[in-house]
Every structure is written in C-alpha cells, then in structure tokens.
Amino acid sequence: MLKEGAMEQSMHHEGEAKLGRNVEIRASFMRHAPKADVKEPGAGATLSEAGREAARQVGRRFESKRHGIKAYTSPVDRAMETADLILGEQKKKEIKIFKSRKRTELGIVPGSKDFYTKFKELTKQNLPENFDELSAEEKEEAVFAAEDKALDWWFELGDKKFDKDTATAREVGASVALLVDKYIRMTDFMNSGSSVDLLNVSHKGTLEPFLKQVLLRQVEDESGKIKTVRGFDKLEEIGGGMKTVESWDLLVKTDEHGNKNVKVGLRGNEYDIDMEKMKELADSSS
C-alpha cells in the first residue's frame, strides 16, 4: 500500500499476481473521545476518564478488516490518546496493528485567536437560557448543538477568510479530500484479496467541511419529487456535527477487474460522493 512497508507485506497472497483486485479499505474519520472539559476548547487538553473509557469501548466493539488496522491522527494529544486506546483494545483481540502516524491534515482547524474568540462567543450565544439547570449529559448535548450553529456561521463565510490566519471551510475540506483521494488510489497498490482499516482521528470542525462539499443526498423537494443535492446548508440536515468517538466512513471496494466502488457511510446510511468535486478539492490542496 503506497510504500507502507510491513503493511504491504502482510497483505500478500500467494497465487494472486495482480494488484487491486477484490480489495477493500474502510477509512474511518472519527472525532476524538471526550476531553477533560467539554466547554473549554484547548489544543493541549487530554481525555477525561469517561473519554478514555469511551475510546476503549470503541476498540472493543470495532470489527477490524482481516489484514489489520493502521491509525492516522491529528497531532493533538487527545486525538493520539483516542487512537492508542482503540488500538490497545484491538491488540487484545490479536488484530494486526500497524505503526500509527500523525497527519497535519487531521489537526484542529487553523484559526487565529480572534476567530476562536468569535467561535466561543457564538457557541455561548446559542446555549439554552436554562443551561445552568441542565444535567451534565444535557449540558454536553447543548454545547454540541451550539457548536453546530457556530460551525454553520463559519461555513456561510464560503471562500471569504475570517482573517489571514484562519482557514476557510473549503480549505479544510480540501485537506481531508487529499487524504480521501490518497486512500482511494491506495487500492491500486494493494495485493488482491486484501482488506484493511484506516482509523483517522480528528476534531469537530475538521471532519464536516468535506461532507458539506461532496456528499450526495437524496431529498424531497416542495413538489414531493426526490432529487439529488450535494452537501447541505445546515449541519442539522445530516443530523448535526460529529459527536465524540463518532465517525463517517470512506468505503472503497474493487471487483475482480479492479473497478472501484466508493461510498461514504454516515449514521447508518450509505451515500455516493461527487468524485469530480472531491478530485478538484484534493488537487487544490496538493
């Protein structure tokens, strides 16, 4: 697989000379587990004990592909810790674990202090008036929903930068598209019959812009007819932003001729993606 060394060797099958036939990649793009204080974003925050247990539970439930799992993570501690805990549980099940790697494309949205101050202000403004009276679980849900509103504001800026130090949602989506394009092309170099998992642990705000720009959804118009739309206007249209340890999955399969089928799995549904738009984004980020 694209010079991954040991990973390539472990997927070799005698008698299968051709590459890229009947192979499968599931690349899960996951938000990290809950950090110590959900209300105060901070690059250095570690996971809470509940967050560590949530990551372990994912590792216990996760059914890996037969040739193993490799993790790519944001350089931020809480993302790396999430991946380590998931892989630790996988190792107990004697799943083949490949060496993890950090990827800057999965990092926190590049933004200035002013941008994050504005983001926090918008989040706070969208909290319910009775926030202080809510239970811990209800507060967490309220913060998630308020963050969605703040993300919608950022999305609405389009290609207009908040300031010179802050990335646009399109730029962030393009960085993820570059990874998606790489994983799709990776199947060409896999030994026939191989199947692997690629775990990508990232952050809210980094994972959603790609979906906004390439996801193809079937929706009902005003006349009752079903039509295909690309992306969404508001996060609520896809059920909100990514919750902790929630993921969307890139599903890439090839047939006996090497023809590719690409889908995105999200919350129990499978979607097509706009491959032309995905490629355009990836090219703009390379």
Kindly tell me if the per-residue pLDDT of 13 is higher than 80: no
Residue 3 tokens read as: 């010079």
Is 186 part of any domain? Answer: yes
CA atoms of 263 and 273, how far apart (whole Å): 7
Q: Model confidence over 175-194: pLDDT tens digits?
A: 999 999 999 999 999 999 99
What average pLDDT score do residues 154-163 get? 96
Is 95 part of any domain? Answer: yes
Residues in the chain, overall count = 286
pTM, rounded to two decimals: 0.91
Is 37 part of any domain? Answer: yes
Number of other CB atoms surrounding residue 109 within 10 Å:
21
- Number of folded domains that form the chain: 1
pLDDT confidence band for 18 (50 / 70 / 90)? confident
Parallel, antiparallel or unpaired: strands 195-202 and 260-266: unpaired
Q: What was the pLDDT predicted at 1?
A: 43
pLDDT confidence band for 3 (50 / 70 / 90)? very low
Is 70 part of any domain? Answer: yes
Q: Model confidence over 109-138: pLDDT tens digits?
A: 999 999 999 999 999 999 999 999 999 899
Residue 217 tokens read as: 């959804």
% of the chain with per-residue pLDDT over 90: 84
CA atoms of 63 and 89, how far apart (whole Å): 11
Is 45 part of any domain? Answer: yes
Is 68 part of any domain? Answer: yes
Q: What was the pLDDT predicted at 17?
A: 53
Is 202 part of any domain? Answer: yes
Query: Residue holding tokens 């674990």?
Result: 97
Is 130 part of any domain? Answer: no
The contacts found for 273-279 with CB under 8 angstroms, 24 or more apart, are: 273/214, 273/215, 273/216, 274/213, 274/214, 274/215, 274/216, 274/230, 277/213, 277/214, 277/230, 278/177, 278/180, 278/181, 278/214, 279/177, 279/181
Q: Model confidence over 21-58: pLDDT tens digits?
A: 999 999 999 999 998 864 444 445 789 999 999 999 99
CATH number, domain of 277, equals 3.40.50.1240
DSSP letters for 107-167: SPPP--HHHHHHHHHHHHHTS-TTGGGS-HHHHHHHHHHHHHHHHHHHHHTTT--SSTTS-
Q: Model confidence over 191-235: pLDDT tens digits?
A: 999 999 999 999 999 999 999 999 999 999 888 899 999 999 999
What average pLDDT score do residues 150-157 get? 98
The mean predicted confidence, pLDDT, of the chain is 92
Domain that holds residue 222: 6-50+58-109+172-285
